[in-house]
Amino acid sequence: MANSGEERVIDAVDHRGFDARRSNTGRRRAAWFIIGVEVAERFAHYGIGSNLISYLTGPLGQSTAVAAANVNAWSGISTILPVLGAFVADAFLGRYRTIIIASLIYVLGLAFLTSSAFMIPNTTEVTSSPSSFVNALFFFSLYLVAIGQSGHKPCVQAFGADQFDEKNLQEYRDRSSFFNWWYFSICAGISLVILVVVYIQEYVSWALGFGIPCVFMVISLVLFVLGRRLYRYSKRRQVEETNPFTRIGRVFLLAFKNQRLSSSELCIAELEANPSQDSPEELSFLNKALLVPNDGEMSCKSRDVEDATALVKLIPVWLTTLSYAIPYAQYMTFFTKQGVTMERTIFPGVMIPPASLQALISLSIIVFVLIYDRVLVPMGKSITKDPCGITTLKRIGTGMVIATLTMVVAALVESKRLKTAKEHGLIDQPNITGPMSIWWLFPQYILLGLADLHTLVGMQEFFYSQVPTELRSIGMALYLSALGVGSLLSSLLISLIDLTTGGDAGDSWFNSNLNRAHLDYFYYLLAVVSAVGFFTFLFISRSYTYRRVDGV
């Protein structure tokens, strides 16, 4: 029988505030409750976002370029706001409470969104512009959902990973597998929403299509609360302990004040404070916070400097992942609009909405997760001796290469579509479906799914594991914010290119008549951006030193 020291989990408590027991809290059983909550949230998010461009260009009457910019702006803001939600969770409320509050806001936003859809005729064709009130209610609801997501998204996944003790070797391995199965599960939910809810939105009712995700969010909130007895909760900071943001911020302040102190004093202070430090020269600017200022103020602790250093080292990696986030933003907009112009009969008598092809991303991830987790990881372990198969940075880089290939394939397919439209005299007949089958779009969706499995899952695990323990929600928010900034950059890039090439009145790359547009040029441009980003990422990642975890 294990002794009491082995039965307890360090730095975790149960729902009553007592030390968490390893035998009856956390691990896979608790994680599945949390995964279920995230599946419902992704169901809600994609119930809105996957077909949003069709709603904007149809019932709301926007042009293709404006609608794409709006989709990217919403997607970007909804994935940048989690930085604020993570700050509130890590500094004040804790992850569990933040999830509860954020879920309530999320449900309220979905309810308003459903109400706004009831006020507009159910159609995907432009009829007449809705009233200013309906437009205002729609966008208010949309961004209220983004606020709810800001607290929900970074905390749920971090809370799920918290159920595994990284100081226990078996649970550390299970946590790496958790990130794979986490993505597997939410992709199953995303596939369901894209295949079912998008069909309902296109052929039954937009209001019903927005209302179903609202019901799912309510059910998920109830299930999340029911699982509270199984969860492990991070120990609350004691009153006398400093807020992690305060102590890390103090490192930067003190380092700035001490920048004129001599290097000899710095080396002595570093060695005395942390004699086991491998590289005292690393980020020596921050290491000056170890010195006692001339005004007699207390110096920073070695741990504070290490935590600040860890955050600074993440910045270059974060910046390079933006080159992945920009191409990633296209599947909800231009990939979908391409499908509108193509023959959508996949089997005799079976026609699918163009947005439903997004399910291919999730389905490819579902298939490849099984192969990755059960075949490639064990093979990688035997070769690299890494408990996770390959390092997270190598996994991210692999996905960036696949993303570049995805953009090249998308550009070639679009060139073929434009050539087919010209050959059949459809250049000025955008409402007539061309003879080119929608099957041609399958490869770019499948490749994007394979890229997501590597880069997005790798980013989740990397940013979670490389931030200080108290800032794990911030770690997940960093991953999300990269996607958010990428979406905003995509929106800005689209607007600038559309303005430069003349808009719908000229030869815009994003002309509302896609037969006169040049999405192929845009995809080639994104392939170049992605390739440059990968080589920059490769250069930076070669010198990155992973944060050490005691006991592993």
E strand or H helix that includes residue 510: none
- Quick one: how many helices (H) and strands (E) in the chain? 21, 5
User: In the numeric block, which tokens belong to residue 361?
Assistant: 């991303």
Q: Which residue has the tokens 């009856």?
A: 24
**Which residues, listed in sequence order, are joined to residue 343 by a DSSP beta bridge?**
437
What pLDDT was estimated at residue 279?
43
Sequence letter at residue 364? S
Beta-carbon count within 10 A of 507 CB = 11
What pLDDT was estimated at residue 379?
79
What pLDDT was estimated at residue 505?
59
Q: 253 CB contacts (<8 Å, ≥6 apart)? A: none
Sequence letter at residue 49? G
Do the strands 19-21 and 8-13 form a parallel or antiparallel pair, or are they unpaired?
Answer: antiparallel
Q: At what angle do helices 206-226 and 27-49 cross, to 10 degrees?
A: 160
DSSP structural state of residue 290:
G
Residue 386 burial by Cβ neighbours in a 10 Å radius (0-12, 13-18, 19+): middle
Q: Which residue has the tokens 């059960």?
A: 374
What pLDDT was estimated at residue 162?
85
CA 527-528-533 angle, to 5 degrees, is 100
Low-confidence ranges of the chain (pLDDT < 50): 1-5, 124, 126, 239-240, 266-281, 550-552
Return d(Cα 134, Cα 73) in angstroms, integer. 19
What pLDDT was estimated at residue 145?
93
CA 46-49-51 angle, to 5 degrees, is 100
Q: Global pTM?
A: 0.73
User: In the numeric block, which tokens belong to residue 550?
Assistant: 């005691």
Q: How many CA atoms lie within 13 A of 416 on its CB side?
A: 14
What pLDDT was estimated at residue 16?
81
What pLDDT was estimated at residue 110?
94
Q: 297 CB contacts (<8 Å, ≥6 apart)? A: 254
List pLDDT tens digits, range 155-193: 888 888 888 887 777 777 777 778 777 878 888 888 887
Return d(Cα 417, Cα 423) in angstroms, integer. 10
